[in-house]
Amino acid sequence: GIQVEQSPPDLILQEGANSTLRCNFSDSVNNLQWFHQNPWGQLINLFYIPSGTKQNGRLSATTVATERYSLLYISSSQTTDSGVYFCAVGDRGSTLGRLYFGRGTQLTVWP
Amino acid sequence: NAGVTQTPKFQVLKTGQSMTLQCAQDMNHEYMSWYRQDPGMGLRLIHYSVGAGITDQGEVPNGYNVSRSTTEDFPLRLLSAAPSQTSVYFCASSRGRQTVSSYNEQFFGPGTRLTVL
């Protein structure tokens, strides 16, 4: 299956700082999603972004499919941004809908 | 819409017991799947279904059974629980047609935390 690597594995920030999370993948994709797993374990959909750029408030994401990476930007971070951020991709060659997950980036935002 | 719902939220089993984790969605999604999440790892696919009556195995299917008799429901059965199945289980669904890109977006339930003693 497709390999998904996320970096950095851990990130510690002061409130108000900006950050960039990266997701590299090993093959062509037909789906790329970013999720936030909050401290209660819930997976929150952030972006569905197999290509291009999207913005939602303080968060934005860019996927460069031809170079097989995606970036998630968090600006003016808040303590509520803490949690694990996952990148997941769907392989063009595999059964529709199947997602492969990276190991995540653990983000901690201090007040 | 309630989205994707899962029951129970928490469960403790003894080794060898069986149980069924329930998953339902009210979005008329064709594609449904089960993942497990272990500490320090991303989610791994257990089983999936592309429609009623059609199921297949994912990366880690051993010890689990599924069936899909309706579009809405996709239960996961543990036949004889083992400590290695202690994990958090997530159910997900999507509209599922690749020809329409946005239909691939997956939505996850709140999870079931299972402990096997």
Task: Tell me: pLDDT of B96 over 80.
Answer: no
Mean pLDDT, chain A, whole residue set: 92
Site from B59, B106, B114, B115 to mutate, A interface, most A CB atoms within 10 angstroms:
B106
Per-residue model confidence (pLDDT) at position A90:
87
For residue A79, give the CATH number of its domain: 2.60.40.10
Residue A95 pLDDT: 56
3-class SS of residue B85: helix
- A85 pLDDT above the threshold of 90: yes
Q: CA-to-CA distance for B69 and B82, rounded, in angstroms?
A: 27
The partner residues of B34 in beta bridges, in order of sequence, read: B47, B91
Query: What is the mean predicted confidence (pLDDT) over A28-54?
Result: 92
Residue A48 — very low, low, confident or very high, per pLDDT cuts 50/70/90? very high
Q: Which residues of A touch B42 (CB under 8 A)?
A: 4, 86, 88, 101-104
CA separation for the pair A11, A49 (Å, rounded): 23
Angstrom distances, CA of residue B26 to CA of A8, B20, B35, B74, B100: 37, 20, 19, 12, 20
Q: Which of B61, B45, B43, B58 is nearest to A6 (CA)?
A: B43
pLDDT band at B103 (very low <50, low <70, confident <90, very high): low
φ, ψ dihedrals at B98, nearest 5°: -60, -25
Q: Terminal CA-to-CA distance of chain B, rounded, Å?
A: 36
Collect all residues of chain B within an 8 Å Cβ-Cβ radius of residue A97.
31, 33, 48, 50, 94, 96, 104, 106
Min Cα distance A101 → chain B (Å) is 5
Question: What does the pLDDT average to over B6-34?
Answer: 95
* Chain A residues whose beta carbon lies within 8 Å of the beta carbon of residue B10: none
Joined tokens for residue B22: 């329930």
Least Cα distance to A90 among A45, A28, A44, A37 occurs for A28
Question: Taking CB atoms and an 8 Å limit, are B48 and A95 in contact across chains?
Answer: yes
Higher pLDDT among residues A1 and A75, named by residue:
A75
A4 against A31, higher pLDDT: A4
The pLDDT value recorded for residue A14 is: 96
Structure confidence by residue, pLDDT tens digits, B26-80:
999 999 999 999 987 789 999 999 889 999 999 899 999 999 999 999 999 999 9
Domain count for chain A, please give it: 1
- CA-based nearest residue to A100, from A44, A28, A52: A28
Instruction: Give the closest of A4, A96, A103 to B96, CB-based.
Output: A96
- Would you say A31 and A100 are in contact if contact means Cβ atoms under 8 Å apart? no
Q: Which residues, other chains included, contact B112 with Cβ-Cβ below 8 Å and sequence gap of 6+? A: B6, B7, B8, B9, B10, B11, B21, B88, B89
Size of interface A-B (CB pairs under 8 A): 70
Structural domain harbouring A19: 4-110
| Interchain proximity B101–A50, CB inside 8 Å | yes
Say whether pLDDT at A8 is over 80: yes
Q: Chain B residue closest to A93 (CA)?
A: B98
DSSP letter string, A36-96: EE-TT--EEEEEE-SSEEEEETTEEEEEEGGGTEEEEEE-S--GGG-EEEEEEEEETTS-T
Residues in chain A within 8 Å Cβ distance of B92? 99
Residues of B near A (CB-CB distance < 8 A)? Answer: 31, 33, 35, 40-45, 48, 50, 56, 58-59, 88, 90, 92, 94, 96-98, 101-102, 104-108, 110-111, 113
